[in-house]
Amino acid sequence: MKKFITVFLIISIIMAMLVPTTLYAGIGDVIGYAKYTDISAYINHYPITSYNINDYTVVVAEDLRNYGFDVVWDGNSRTLSITRNELATEIAPYGRVYKYSSVAGRESVPYVATDIKTYVYGNFVESFNINGQTCIYIDSLAPYGKVAWVPEVRAIKLWLEGLPMKAYEPLTEAPVTIMYAPDGRTLVVENSEVEAYKNVGWFENKSDVTAVLVSSDKRRIEVYKAEVEAYIAQGWTPVQANTIDPAKPMVAVTFDDGPKPATTNRILDTLEFYNACATFFVLGSLAEGNAGVLLKMKELGCQIGNHTYDHPQLTKLSSQKISSQLGRTSEIIANITGANPTAIRPPYGAYNKTVSSVAGAPLILWSIDTLDWKSRNANSVIDAVMSKVKDGDIILMHDIYNSTATAAETIIPALIQRGFQLVTVDELAYYKNKPMSPGSAYSQIR
Ligand code: ZN
């Protein structure tokens, strides 16, 4: 017998006393006793493991646990409980399955719990221990009842021998949903129960209970959230989650003056690797020759903003020329991506009333200036961000320098590890519930 293997049921069929032959099952099949439901049906087509001990087929409860059950035999009360999360499912006479809240207790109406003794009307069933697990002899139940598994509700039921089948009230086949727990358990619940399970930590989508982590040598794994801390302790880094939690800190990383394929693509690769996004304020003059880079930005969920056609200081231009700088760039971006940019970054952060009045979109400034154009030093850029960053910051960088692309390889995972969600400028305004107006300037959104 293997250690750590827990045992749930023993199936043993003892034929009539006059026939001293004991037949036992392969994988839970009860041979020669067709009216017994076989164990393989219990788990609704999932393969389970069994082995034989002293002529009994033992089913490995670990298999049931994998599908969301806790199986416990209470020797004192002689109660078999198959528990899923906070609800317990027990077996009542006549095959009805009752549930009760373990918190509210057994008195909880309308759920009624019964112990195995009830099945057999006062007769005790036999049990024994293997490696600390209590196993029940099915043949000790056999004189009193039949055992079956109801896959629709994933519960075991028993009903009494000799009763007409009409005494067994099959449970309605309610539509079911598979739910997931952060520790990897899965559960099939009736659709009407989904909300209740969500309230106690279950999720409808597997992606809600998993996280992707990466290693320094660029390996990538997906694990259940319950395992994440252990992986971080081993040096893995989490990537950004697929969904943004408005209650958690977030920042908008922005890059100006590109696209410049050699460096912009490096930054895009880093964003993609960590499942993050940023906002690129592009120049129309560079965008028109680099459609592929813009399409990649769009594909990664990045925002593309307008940084004018060729980087003039807008405050020195007539309103007509400002319009032309912005309009021409919007058209180029729209021709490539199919959408007009919804944010403008005026070169040098310079704007006045004229700029505001013709902009037609919010003016996005910054709260953290990395001065990457000046230092051209990755460490200094990293320090500029990581020493100051806080919730709602807009971080200014330029995607045209190798030193900035190098810094981004550190900054992006470091922000995620520190608990920041990397969002676009539009997302920042959306999740902070701070709608932006055309022509108004924003240097952070908190
Ligand atoms: Zn610029």
Cα(281) to centroid(ligand 1), Å: 8
| Distance from Cα 251 to the centre of ligand 1, integer Å | 20
* Residue 111 pLDDT > 70: no
- Asked if residue 3 has pLDDT above 60, the reply is no
Over residues 413-427, the mean pLDDT reads 95
Average pLDDT score over residue span 300-307: 97
Name residue 437's beta-bridge partners: none
- Strand-pair category, 186-190 with 155-160: unpaired
CA distance 310 to 356: 19
Residue 384's pLDDT is: 97
pLDDT of residue 146: 52
Please tell me which residue, 235 or 3, carries the higher pLDDT value.
235
Residue 395: phi and psi, rounded to 5, are -105, 125
pLDDT per residue as tens digits for the range 4-61:
333 333 333 222 222 222 222 222 222 222 222 233 323 333 333 443 333 333 444 4
- Residue 426 Cα to ligand 1 midpoint, Å, equals 19
Distance of CA 67 from the midpoint of ligand 1 (Å)? 55
Extended strands (E) in 119-160? 127-130, 133-137, 145-150, 155-160
In a 10 Å sphere around its CB, with 0-12 CB exposed, 13-18 middle and 19+ buried, how is residue 204 labelled?
middle
* pLDDT for position 198: 84
Average pLDDT, the chain: 71
Residue of 166 and 284 predicted with greater confidence: 284
Nearest CA among 272, 214, 275 for reference residue 243: 275
Is the pLDDT at 93 greater than 80? The verdict is no
Mean pLDDT to the nearest integer, 55-80: 42
3-state class (DSSP) for residue 428: helix
Q: Which residues contact 153 (CB under 8 A, 6 or more apart)?
A: 89, 97, 171, 174, 190
> Would the pTM count as exceeding 0.75?
no
Distance 387 CA to ligand 1 centre (A): 23
Q: Bridge-partner residues for 13, per DSSP? A: 23
pLDDT tens, residue by residue, 262-282: 999 999 999 999 999 999 999
Higher pLDDT, 139 or 283: 283
- The contacts of residue 425 (CB under 8 Å, 6+ apart) are 252, 254, 279, 303, 305, 343, 364, 394, 442, 445
Contact criterion met (CB below 8 Å) for 427 and 435: no
For residue 71, pLDDT beyond 50? no
Average pLDDT over residues 196-208: 84
Residues, CB within 5 angstroms of ligand 1 (ion) = 256-257, 347
Q: Distance between terminal CA atoms of the chain?
A: 60
With 0-12 CB in 10 A as exposed, 13-18 as middle and 19+ as buried, what is 268?
A: buried
Q: Return the pLDDT at 175.
A: 64
For range 303-322, the mean pLDDT: 97
pLDDT at 222: 87
CA–CA gap between residue 259 and residue 280 (Å, rounded): 8
Q: Tell me the CA–centroid distance for residue 296 and ligand 1, in Å.
A: 21
- DSSP three-state, residue 66: helix
C-beta of residue 259 within 8 angstroms of C-beta of residue 280: yes
Range in 195-199, 324-328, 392-396 the model is least confident about: 195-199
**Residue whose pair of structure tokens reads 């959230």 in the numeric block:** 225
Decide if pLDDT at 97 tops 50. Answer: no
- 25: which 2 tokens? 């099952």
Residue 121's pLDDT band, with cuts at 50, 70 and 90, is very low
Residue 130, C-beta contacts closer than 8 angstroms, at least 6 positions apart:
1, 7, 53, 58
Least confident of 37-46, 58-67, 71-80, 370-379: 37-46
82-96 burial, b for 16+ CB within 10 Å, e for fewer?
A: bebbebbbbbbbbbb
pLDDT at 130 over 60: no
Residue 22 has what pLDDT? 27
Burial of 98 (0-12, 13-18, 19+ CB in 10 A): middle
Distance 348 CA to ligand 1 centre (A): 6
From CA 291, how far away is CA 409, in angstroms rounded?
24
Cα–Cα distance list, 52 to 56, 129, 440 (Å): 5, 15, 76
Q: What is the largest CA-CA distance in the chain?
A: 108
Please list the active-site residues.
256, 398
**How far apart are the C-alpha atoms of 272 and 402, rounded to whole Å?**
18
Task: Please state at what angle helix 402-417 crosses helix 378-386, rounded to 10 degrees.
Answer: 30
Q: In the prediction, which pLDDT does 383 show? A: 97
Query: Are 399 and 255 spatial neighbours (Cβ–Cβ below 8 Å)?
Result: yes
pLDDT of residue 363: 98
Q: From ligand 1's centre to the CA of 283, what distance in Å?
A: 8
In this prediction, residue 178 carries a pLDDT of 81
Top pLDDT among 234 and 146 is at: 234
Residue 333 in this model has a pLDDT that exceeds 90 = yes
Note the pLDDT of residue 293.
Answer: 98
**pLDDT (average), residues 78-94:** 36
Q: How far apart are CA 407 and CA 215, in angstroms?
A: 18
Q: Report the alpha-carbon distance of residue 161 to residue 146 in Å, rounded.
A: 6
The answer on pLDDT for 429 being more than 70 is: yes
**Average pLDDT of span 374-391:** 97
Considering the chain, what percentage of its residues have pLDDT values greater than 70?
61
